[in-house]
Amino acid sequence: MTQGFLRASVMLVVAVTIVIPRPSLSQRTAPTRRGAPGASVPMTDVSITLGSTTTTGRVDAKCGVDEKATPTNGRAYFVLMYPWFGQQVAPDKPQWRFNLEIRRGPTSEASNQFTFSFLDGTREATIQTIAGAETIGSGTVRVTLQDKGGRFEVEGRTKQGVAVRATIICSAFQRGETGGG
């Protein structure tokens, strides 16, 4: 009878452990995924001027820093994009897009080797100053680190001669590999 009682007690404890969730498990919440409804994400202020027309907005852009980038491996150190890879932009959000990729410099975090593109459905602009690649237009980029993010200022001209001026202010950088968003 003692063995039967012991066996029944062990089985009851196992059953109770499986069926009744512990408080720590029942209070867990799933991690909030970037872009999920209700997710708190750092916002990015954007002002892009092509010729005499300016586009502005506050968007959920990706502002990435790739620590694996070096001055010689061809990877971009700063990668800014809106929409970020895979992002589903709501109809009430800006439908234009931009991309800015800046190579790491030999003596600083940024070099003057960069690619910038903008598209809003009717207008587009591209500047590319990457060594060893086709030069498209001309321009400079200035990076000013601020708190957890940075300010990026692009000035230049497209291959067609259209003046381009862009200011992108990232409130925070996401660290890690930036390829693919």
Per the CB < 8 A criterion, the answer to whether 67 and 79 are in contact is no
Conformational region of residue 96, where left means phi above 0, alpha means psi within -120 to 50, and beta covers everything else: beta
Q: pLDDT at position 32, please?
A: 41
Q: What is the mean predicted confidence (pLDDT) over 104-121?
A: 89
41 contact partners, CB below 8 Å, separation of at least 6: 34, 35, 60
In degrees, rounded to 5, the angle at the alpha carbon of residue 47 between the alpha carbons of residues 45 and 50 is: 160
Question: What are the tens digits of pLDDT across the range 52-93?
Answer: 999 999 999 999 999 999 999 999 999 999 998 888 888 888
The DSSP call for residue 131 is T
Residue 117: strand pairing partners: 99, 126
Q: Is the pLDDT of residue 16 over 70?
A: no
The mean pLDDT value of the chain amounts to 81
Helix (H, G, I), strand (E, B) or coil at 73: coil
Q: At residue 40, does pLDDT exceed 90?
A: no
Given this model, what pLDDT does residue 176 score? 58
Give the pLDDT band of residue 7 (cuts 50, 70, 90): low
Judge contact between 124 and 117, C-beta under 8 A.
yes
